[in-house]
Structure 1
Amino acid sequence: MGLAFLWVAFAQPALAMDTDAVVSSLCDADVVALGELPSHGEAAVQEMRASITHELIEQCGFQRVLFESAAIEFFSLEKDAMTRANSDNALGGFLSSDNLAPFRAWLFDKVTAGKVSVSGIDDQIGASSQFSRTFLPALIARASGQPECGRAVERNLFWRYGDAAPYDVSEQFLLFSCLASIRGDTLSPEESFAVEVLLRLYARQAGIEAFGTRDASMATIALWHLEKDRALKTIIWSANTHIAEATGPSGITPMGQRLATELGDHYRSVAFTVLDGETARMGASPSALEALPPHSLEQGAARDASGALSYIYDDRLRQQDGSPSRLMGGVKEADWSRMFDGVVVLPETCPPSYSR
């Protein structure tokens, strides 16, 4: 396999990063989730995930990618002219790194050629979600029949709060009640989907537990996309904490556990971690990754791989059950083989760079 899509700035010839084992273990799956550390701040992971995604699409016939990005924002790719600008806005946030620029350009070409579809699975709406901030207030005002509901949603999405209009319990309940009052009879399927996504977000922010966790919402959104066309082989990009197939140290049922229950062996999850280096989220200062103990999963994988990329799965992953790892944020112990089908361990990383 060529290395044309390995954009790892620190890579040296001796590092011989080979994705063959990862791709071949996933090629026959219907849904593949590729993780990353919960910090979202490791360039090497971004680039390796992009490389594996490229190979899964080119070699294994995957045709859809679902990102941990604002689900509603991707409607802009259907309602407006497909441009690099609205495509990048839909991906948003940490996926706008310079490190992923070649991948975004390649993916845009695939989408505009009709060979790949892209969507989001997050109910959260970020600052780059320009379409959502215009589309949703108008939709909610019309669907609820209450102009004040549209104004409340606009206030929230643009965060126009202050002493005169605080974001307090009353405001949270207003947002929830506005969404809960809407009946979907006159709405298109996409509009009903948008209302349901926003309802779950506002219910959670108002502390109404009956509507579930963010992971539950992400699973619902992912399954909605999968049900639209079960024939499309699908890649999901999300944090390790979300793609896990079993509950981990946090005690929260992850999206991946719900997907694995629904899809069975058709769902595969591969987590990513890094032995050493620096991390930084978008706009934050770099910091060193927490030191790992000698008996950590990452240290063991590095020893076995003589410093090169290591992909551990099946028996090798089971041997690491109970080992400490940074896979889920911090350094924690878990039975990793229950949570993931495989783990990619990279030797080193630096933070992603952002020029916009």
Structure 2
Amino acid sequence: MKTLVTTCLTLALALASPCAKAQPSPVASAASEKALAGAVRDLCGKKVALLGEGPTHGDGNTEQFKAALVDRLIRQCGFTVIFFEASHYEFLNLERVRKSGERLGEDQIAAAVGGLWRFDVEFQPLLPVLADGFNAGTLHLGGLDDQLGGVGQDFANRQLGENLTAGMAPDRRSACREAIHHRIYQDYPRETPYSANDKAALLLCLAQAGQTTRDPEQKQMLHSLSRWIGRDLLGDAEMYRERDRSMFENFRWLSARLPRSAKIIVWGATMHLAKDASATSYFPASGNLGSRVHAVYGKAAYALGFSALEGAYRVGRRNQQQLPAAPAGSLEAQVIAGADADHDAVYVGPTRLAKFGRISAAAFRHEYQEIDWSRVLDGIVVFRRERPAQSMR
């Protein structure tokens, strides 16, 4: 999950090494096939499939499973849209380029998806699925995140500010472009760090830029950028809630432009996509993206979470963290204890999940919490053992 702090991390804007050649089709392990089939069965008839993961985006088995799940939801269930917890602006630009008749490469799709997944070995088999469908016009792709500063996202970090300020008077245009550049790159002197005055100046720039265009897409990008800047200098809890509100606004804008029959996959962190995240310190009154989506779609939306009995996950580019020991009576311990020895993953659907009632599980942040998980998620995939995602960098 990205925050204002992790935005700073992305400001090493030098391009990373190109992606390795993708596999022909995403597949889950044979030992996870039964769990995958169960998830497909329950998700197939839904309108919105929200596919979560841990907050560090470094769970390898989860990512491999999700890639295979997305492929099947497209091929078997008629899902035609994927929204990522990724740059709203990069994906809007990809759509513009595609409509111009240019064929987009997998590297361009990967750049828009961003550094949370684009360099992971587990994500590579999904890239040709995304690129082929997008170029053929059978698959819509979008980003929900309003932040700038992603590695290798040249449109969002360089071209976007120029495009949005193009209609301003020359002197004002130059000043606003400079202000936007400084904010993206966090380029402020140590003795005069980013301040409320800088924030106010940026918001004024965006408001004035909005007066120079009637283009709906440019106005949408300006609204999204204004929400990003508007969170600057807020406390963590408020910042998280406002970021999810902004992602929902982008979700709503994008989905309003889809055919009514469109079926949507959302790929992001479980904390954002759960139908109720009030058990976390970040969304004490819920108000996350998933709760807003469920308020609109009701039972036509389905939030899928992931957890594991043991193992490790990746933090950042290379660091690893061990999962906490599962309590004896936890959901993970009970689910795996009742599973066949040759099954590496178990899918727990809505009916079974509700039967557990209040129980300890770690499907939010790899930390055990005792709550009624059926109020939080519609289903959970429990792995026997999680492993860190493999980075190609």
TM-superposition CA deviations, 1:233-266 (whole Å, max 9, x none)? 1111011111111232121421111111112222
Question: Partner of 2:144 in structure 1?
Answer: 121
Query: Structure 1 residues 159 and 14, CA, compared in 2 at 3 Å: closer, same or farther?
Result: closer
Matched, 1:195 2:225: no
TM-superposition CA deviations, 1:89-122 (whole Å, max 9, x none)? 1001121112211111222122112221111111
Question: Partner of 2:37 in structure 1?
Answer: 20
Which of 340, 345, 348 does residue 377 from structure 2 map onto?
Answer: 340
Q: Residues of 2 paired with 1:16 and 1:167: CA distance?
A: 50
Give the 3-state SS of the residue equivalent to 1:279 in structure 2: strand
Correspondence 1:265-304 to 2 at 5 A: 265-304=299-338
Give the 3-state SS of the residue equivalent to 1:253 in structure 2: coil
Which of 117, 135, 151 does residue 112 from structure 1 map onto?
Answer: 135
Query: Structure 1 residues 144 and 275, CA, compared in 2 at 3 Å: closer, same or farther?
Result: farther
**Structure 1 residue 176 displacement after superposition:** 2.5
Q: Residues of 1 paired with 2:145 and 2:239: CA distance?
A: 18
Query: Structure 1 residues 210 and 240, CA, compared in 2 at 3 Å: closer, same or farther?
Result: closer
Matched, 1:255 2:289: yes
Aligned residue type for 2:41: S
- What is the TM-score with the length of structure 2 in the denominator? 0.83
Question: Partner of 1:157 in structure 2?
Answer: 184
Query: Structure 1 residues 297 and 262, CA, compared in 2 at 3 Å: closer, same or farther?
Result: same
Matched-pair contact (CA < 8 Å) for 1:42–1:280: yes
Correspondence 1:34-73 to 2 at 5 A: 34-73=51-90
Give the 3-state SS of the residue equivalent to 1:120 in structure 2: strand
Which of 230, 233, 245 does residue 275 from structure 2 map onto?
Answer: 245
Which of 196, 200, 207 does residue 169 from structure 1 map onto?
Answer: 196
Question: Partner of 1:205 in structure 2?
Answer: 232
Aligned residue type for 1:153: I
TM-superposition CA deviations, 1:164-184 (whole Å, max 9, x none)? 653223222222332244435
Question: Partner of 1:228 in structure 2?
Answer: 257
Query: Structure 1 residues 332 and 152, CA, compared in 2 at 3 Å: closer, same or farther?
Result: same
Question: Partner of 1:311 in structure 2?
Answer: 347
Q: Residues of 2 paired with 1:293 and 1:143: CA distance?
A: 60
- What is the TM-score with the length of structure 1 in the denominator? 0.91
TM-superposition CA deviations, 1:296-348 (whole Å, max 9, x none)? 12112111223521111223101333212211112222221111111111111
Total equivalences in the alignment:
350
TM-superposition CA deviations, 1:11-52 (whole Å, max 9, x none)? 5x6565541111111111111111111221111000101111
Q: Residues of 2 paired with 1:105 and 1:220: CA distance?
A: 29
Gaps of 5+ in 1: none
Gaps of 5+ in 2: 1-24
**Higher mean C-alpha displacement, 37-46 vs 160-169:** 160-169
Q: Residues of 2 paired with 1:16 and 1:221: CA distance?
A: 34
Q: Residues of 2 paired with 1:256 and 1:293: CA distance?
A: 28
Paired-residue identity, %: 27
Give the 3-state SS of the residue equivalent to 2:231 in structure 1: helix
Q: Residues of 1 paired with 2:157 and 2:32: CA distance?
A: 44
Give the 3-state SS of the residue equivalent to 2:86 in structure 1: strand
Q: Residues of 2 paired with 1:320 and 1:234: CA distance?
A: 29
Aligned residue type for 2:26: F
